[in-house]
Structure 1
Amino acid sequence: MPAEDTVFWILYDKYMFWSILVGIFTFGWLFTAILRYRDGVEPDTTDLDHIEVGAFPVERHNTRLEAMFYILPTILVVWLTVLALGSNTAVWQLDDDVDSFEININAYQWYFEFEYAETLTWEDTGTGIDVEWGQGIMQVDATDTEATTVEVKIGSDKSEYEINNGSGLMAITANYDSAQHAYVKVYDAEDALIHTWENIPRGHTFNTPSDPMIVPCDEWVDATMKSKGPAGDERNVGVQHAFWVPEWGMKEDFVPGLEAGTTLYFMPDDAGTFPIRCAEYCGMQHSVMTGQVMVVQRETGSSCDSIDSDVKKSNSASSDPYGGGDM
């Protein structure tokens, strides 16, 4: 079931409201007629005009009632049409002056590739742990937490460090270039991941099913979608796919042959990890073309709960970018 404030759910809710009103009126008249004119019941016709031979029947009508039968349904149909067209605009059109986070989603047989058109730096919240970079020093403050070890990856270099049990602090000499993929992962004594800081540079790619699509909350996400063919062929000439996030009520097709590809706009406003499916049969291994979308908070951004936007989801935040959410 999609969240209660997605475009789909709002449209469904409004259509259901007006359908109930029309249904009450229609079935009310229907049951009244059934009960009044059912077999074995003789209605009282003493006050009604009776047709007599050689006499014209008396004309009786109610201009206001007849006009209402035309005007009210017309208004209702126009209103529902406006709602439906408005939902298309909300999904397919983004104002030129709106800042958005750009990402490219490429579909292959049988996986998704997420290519970042701009840098995203994010960090888990609510864990009591803070990662700071500055002046050649990387420091982890895990005071009053169960953190024991830290894994640091900068580019292709990966290292592990112990956290001081007494102070809950760990500091190393390290610099990271914003053009490099880097992360800091904090684990407890049972090797459970409890905190993540990550920098995803422009041009970096993730592939499903091992990697999620990571996007910021409270920002419009502008996704350009293309279906790719054999490796090395950058043209949009693959097979038909469909990017589907069931919990958001959101789906968009990859259309081979469209040079610019298709686009998808959405704004998630709660952190969490949610399943992705390919909703269009794309070959023998279509069933394994799955993935996850992970909604995170920018390192310098506001809380993910501070803005009520178009796509609110129910899952809680996950510290594991590669293992959260039910598949």
Structure 2
Amino acid sequence: MRVRLFPYLGDRMAGITPLFDNLWNEYIIWSFLVGGFTFIWLYHHSLWYKSEEGEDWDNKDGIEVGVFPKHYDNFTLEIAWTVLPFFLIVYLALISWGPLDAIWSSAEADGGYGAECAPGEMSNMTWSEAEGRYVADCYHVIYIEAYQWGWNFDCLEVAVPDLCEVGTAVIDGTPAASLTLKQGEVYLAAMGSADVTHAPWFVSWGVKEDVLYAPGTMDLNGDGLSDNMVLTENGEYALSGPIGELGLTTVWLPADNVENFLLLCTEYCGDNHAYMLAQINVNA
């Protein structure tokens, strides 16, 4: 059973997927424990170890104007104060590895999403209680291209309209690109930039990744397409080479809930950075 503590903060700060729920809850609990201990210690010493005004006091520390106070040390306390936080940091790093690996692992790694889906095949994504993460039979590859100041999407060889559709939306009166995905499917987004560095942030999923300049985003061969893509015999677009050779970055997108949210850029990229928006739709 997955229980979410502080749901409002969890939704804003850790995404809405179960992938991050337990991690978020544990970080909140440890924050309260460590913070509570530290502040209780602070206030106890501040209020307990003091002298009343006008009271004679024993100058054990040898306090004197212009002279450094007497030095005390407690080797056991110093070791404990160093070792215990070290083990806590290592522990938090270890439990953070799973969710991070599930989002940023490469397609070649064992990410739990199988191989690339065949045409018309479904991912059949499910939540694995044993692994604490989503697993799927396969995944779909889509392409995202960033430019100053907008986004281009392509479903590549995901030919079933229900699985992936590209369109336009109006956000606060401004036309923007839109990407529609299907609930229960896993997507591997291959991403490149036509100019400066961008960082797409899928707001509701709590996922973001830097997108670097990729030479293939330009149309150098004059065929009217980004050189990262080629037109296949089936009349569909496909990547012109392996993701790594094209200099593209990737991020996993497990579409778990039916929802609509914004895609923002979180890397300052020029004058209209704040208005670099797109619409993401997840349909049943």
Tell me the secondary structure at the aligned position of residue 275 of structure 1: strand
- Structure 1 pair 280/35, CA: closer, same or farther in 2 (3 Å)? closer
1:56 corresponds to: none
Q: Is 1:215 matched with 2:215? A: no
- Structure 1 pair 280/34, CA: closer, same or farther in 2 (3 Å)? closer
Structure 1 stretches lacking a partner, 5+ long: 43-60, 123-198, 229-237, 298-327
**Amino acid of the residue matched to residue 256 of structure 1?**
Y
2:94 corresponds to: 82
Q: Among residues 148, 151, 156, which one is paired with 1:112 in the alignment?
A: 151
- Residues 72-103 of structure 1 show CA distances to partners (whole Å, capped at 9, x for unaligned) of 33321211222344443122015365211211
- Residues 231-258 of structure 1 show CA distances to partners (whole Å, capped at 9, x for unaligned) of xxxxxxx222221222332222210147
Q: Among residues 183, 186, 191, which one is paired with 1:225 in the alignment?
A: 191
Query: In structure 2, what is the Cα distance between the partners aligned to 1:34 and 1:283?
Result: 49
Structure 2 stretches lacking a partner, 5+ long: 1-11, 56-73, 115-137, 170-174, 216-245
Query: In structure 1, what is the Cα distance between the partners aligned to 2:176 and 2:78?
Result: 64
CA shift for structure 1 position 104: 0.4
- Structure 1 pair 22/110, CA: closer, same or farther in 2 (3 Å)? closer
- Structure 1 pair 217/73, CA: closer, same or farther in 2 (3 Å)? same
- Name the Cα RMSD after superposition: 3.4
- TM-score, scaled relative to structure 2: 0.56
- TM-score, scaled relative to structure 1: 0.49
Q: Which moved more, 1:98-107 or 1:71-80?
A: 71-80
Q: Which has the higher helix share?
A: 2
- Residues 128-184 of structure 1 show CA distances to partners (whole Å, capped at 9, x for unaligned) of xxxxxxxxxxxxxxxxxxxxxxxxxxxxxxxxxxxxxxxxxxxxxxxxxxxxxxxxx
Query: In structure 2, what is the Cα distance between the partners aligned to 1:281 and 1:29?
Result: 41
CA shift for structure 1 position 268: 2.3
Query: In structure 2, what is the Cα distance between the partners aligned to 1:67 and 1:292?
Result: 52
1:303 corresponds to: none
Tell me the secondary structure at the aligned position of residue 35 of structure 1: helix
Query: In structure 2, what is the Cα distance between the partners aligned to 1:62 and 1:278?
Result: 49
Percent identical pairs in the alignment equals 33
**Amino acid of the residue matched to residue 100 of structure 1?**
Y
1:255 corresponds to: 212
Q: Which moved more, 1:95-104 or 1:288-297?
A: 95-104
Aligned residues: 192
Q: Which has the larger radius of gyration?
A: 1
2:280 corresponds to: 293
- Structure 1 pair 29/257, CA: closer, same or farther in 2 (3 Å)? same
Query: In structure 1, what is the Cα distance between the partners aligned to 2:262 and 2:168?
Result: 14
Query: In structure 1, what is the Cα distance between the partners aligned to 2:185 and 2:33?
Result: 37
Q: Among residues 140, 144, 152, which one is paired with 1:101 in the alignment?
A: 140
- Residues 96-138 of structure 1 show CA distances to partners (whole Å, capped at 9, x for unaligned) of 652112110112333211111212343xxxxxxxxxxxxxxxx
State whether residues 111 and 207 of structure 1, in contact with CA within 8 Å, keep that contact through their aligned partners in structure 2: no
Query: In structure 1, what is the Cα distance between the partners aligned to 2:167 and 2:81?
Result: 58
1:269 corresponds to: 256
State whether residues 4 and 10 of structure 1, in contact with CA within 8 Å, keep that contact through their aligned partners in structure 2: no
Query: In structure 2, what is the Cα distance between the partners aligned to 1:207 and 1:268?
Result: 20
Which of 1 and 2 has higher RCO (CA within 8 Å, sep 6+)? Answer: 1
State whether residues 6 and 249 of structure 1, in contact with CA within 8 Å, keep that contact through their aligned partners in structure 2: no
Q: Which has the higher strand share?
A: 1
- Structure 1 pair 239/28, CA: closer, same or farther in 2 (3 Å)? closer
Tell me the secondary structure at the aligned position of residue 25 of structure 1: helix
- Structure 1 pair 255/62, CA: closer, same or farther in 2 (3 Å)? closer
